[in-house]
Structure 1
Amino acid sequence: MSETMAGGCQCGRIRYAVQVDDQDAYLCHCRMCQRATGGFAAALKQVRRSGLHWEREPERYRSSPIAVRGFCAACGTPLTYEGDGSDGMDLTVGSFDDPSRFRPVDHSGVESRNEAWMELHGLPEYRTDDNPNITAKWIAACGKLPD
């Protein structure tokens, strides 16, 4: 079942709409994805380039001899992994307006996987509004907590 989903960067300067055919996503643990996102892995959703419409094109950085990565130059949000010569490309799951739609189905680049970050169930959990210092800063800055 295909549906149009929207997303974009943190500051809202770059927005997209894309046709999504399923809920499958994946985690890439390669060192390039770790460095490009600053995380232990990149959560990615593969889409067809032909099904993607940018309201404003992201800036792009040639991150390797085989690919470019799209990002917002204003806020730094990583948005894409675009392999050369492919009809598909990957969008970062976190850039979707509703990332909860996706489920990881596999791992890529496992030679660089950090096992300490793989089993996260059972760790203590805290909501943003449970932290009085952060809550006070958000209320003072904009009168409410972030979405």
Structure 2
Amino acid sequence: MTETLTGGCQCGRIRYAVAIDDDDAYLCHCRMCQRATGGVSIAFKNVRIADVAWTTQPPERFRSSPIAERGFCRDCGTPLTFEFVKPGATMDLTVGSFDEPGRFVPREHSGAESLHEAWIDTRGLPRVRTEDNPSTSDRWIDALGKLPD
């Protein structure tokens, strides 16, 4: 069943709506994605290019390699897309840029040659909620009077 979801960058300058058919997503661990995000991996949702509508304006693009470019917001830096320079029918949207990212389920590890095993299964690590971390929560309360959504 096709459903339209929305998302965008952190500052709200770039917004999109996209039709999706499922909740499948994947993690990319390749060195290009690691360098582009500063993380050990990035979560992507593959979508049909024709199903993406930029409702405010399209993202700026950075040619990150000879074969690909990445869309991002120039104001807040949010990574938004991955697309091949010679486009096919699909592109990737970053899972974290969706308004409801928790619905997506990782189904594959891409770029597994650069996967950092220690970061995959973190179930045994202690979990600290933002409100239980005074170093962070006090700053949010001082700045906004509340914790962020």
TM-score scaled to structure 2, two decimals? 0.96
Instruction: Return the match for 1:116 from 114, 118, 121.
Output: 118
Instruction: Return the match for 1:131 from 104, 108, 133.
Output: 133
- The answer to whether the aligner puts 1:19 opposite 2:25 as a matched pair is no
Distance 2:35 2:41 in 1: 9
One-letter code aligned to 1:75:
C
Instruction: Return the match for 1:90 from 85, 89, 92.
Output: 92
Deviation string, structure 1 residues 14-64 (Cα, Å, up to 9, x no partner): 100000110100001100011111111110000000000002110000111
- The answer to whether the aligner puts 1:79 opposite 2:87 as a matched pair is no
Distance 2:135 2:113 in 1: 39
- The answer to whether the aligner puts 1:65 opposite 2:66 as a matched pair is yes
Measured on the aligned residues, the alpha-carbon RMSD in Å equals: 0.8
Gaps of 5+ in 2: none
In structure 2, what is the equivalent of residue 48 of structure 1?
Answer: 48
Q: What secondary structure, in the 3-state scheme, does the structure 1 residue paired with 2:17 have?
A: strand
Distance 1:28 1:139 in 2: 35
TM-score scaled to structure 1, two decimals? 0.97
One-letter code aligned to 1:25:
A
- The answer to whether the aligner puts 1:34 opposite 2:43 as a matched pair is no
Distance 1:134 1:30 in 2: 31
Q: How many residue pairs were aligned?
A: 147
Distance 1:133 1:118 in 2: 26
